[in-house]
Amino acid sequence: MAEQDAITPTEQFEHVPFRWHRDEVEKVSLPGAVVMDFAGLARDVAYGVQTLLELLETNELRKSNMEAPLMNACDAGNLERLAITSLKVLGDSAEKLQTWAFKCHTPEGRAEEARDLALSCRKAQEKTRS
């Protein structure tokens, strides 16, 4: 029997699930309306795509069991493209909300914005002097 490497009590393993923002998210305070609007969009897209995929799966199962399909190939393709587009809209909206929340509602984001604004002002002043 081969010996297994023993883990010493001082070794610690900690898996942290991926998140776009770690420390910043603990300090953010978002307006409720913005959060609720996004939550509503996410919920509508998630449940809509879930239902759509269930319909497509039922359609495929019926075809494989030699039953009449629920829809033709054109309709199934339309639903697949709807799912793709809906998920893209959700992803784009999430990215915009994350960027806005970081820039406007975290100390790090506000500091970054202030630096960018100061740099832009300096460039504009230099341009007018030339």
Residue 120 in domain: no
Residue 61 in domain: yes
pLDDT single digits (tens) 36-52: 889 999 999 999 999 99
Asked if pLDDT for residue 88 goes beyond 60, the answer is yes
Non-local CB neighbours of 103 within 8 Å, separated by 6+ positions: 109, 110, 112, 113
Give me the pLDDT at residue 50, please: 96
Asked if pLDDT for residue 22 goes beyond 70, the answer is no
More confident site: 104 or 63: 63
Residue 5 in domain: no
Name the token pair of 26. Answer: 């603990």
Residue 13 in domain: no
Give me the pLDDT at residue 8, please: 60
Asked if pLDDT for residue 16 goes beyond 80, the answer is no
Residue 98 in domain: yes
Give me the pLDDT at residue 129, please: 86
Give the C-alpha separation, 73 to 80, whole Å: 10
Structure confidence at residue 15 as a pLDDT band (50, 70, 90): confident
Residue 67 in domain: yes
Give the C-alpha separation, 87 to 48, whole Å: 10
Structure confidence at residue 1 as a pLDDT band (50, 70, 90): very low
Average pLDDT over residues 85-103: 91
Residue 114 in domain: no
**Domain carrying residue 58:** 30-109
Core vs surface per residue 88-122: b (16+ CB within 10 A) or e:
eebeeeeeebbeebbeebbeebeeeeeeeeeeeee
Residue 48 in domain: yes
Number of domains in the chain: 1
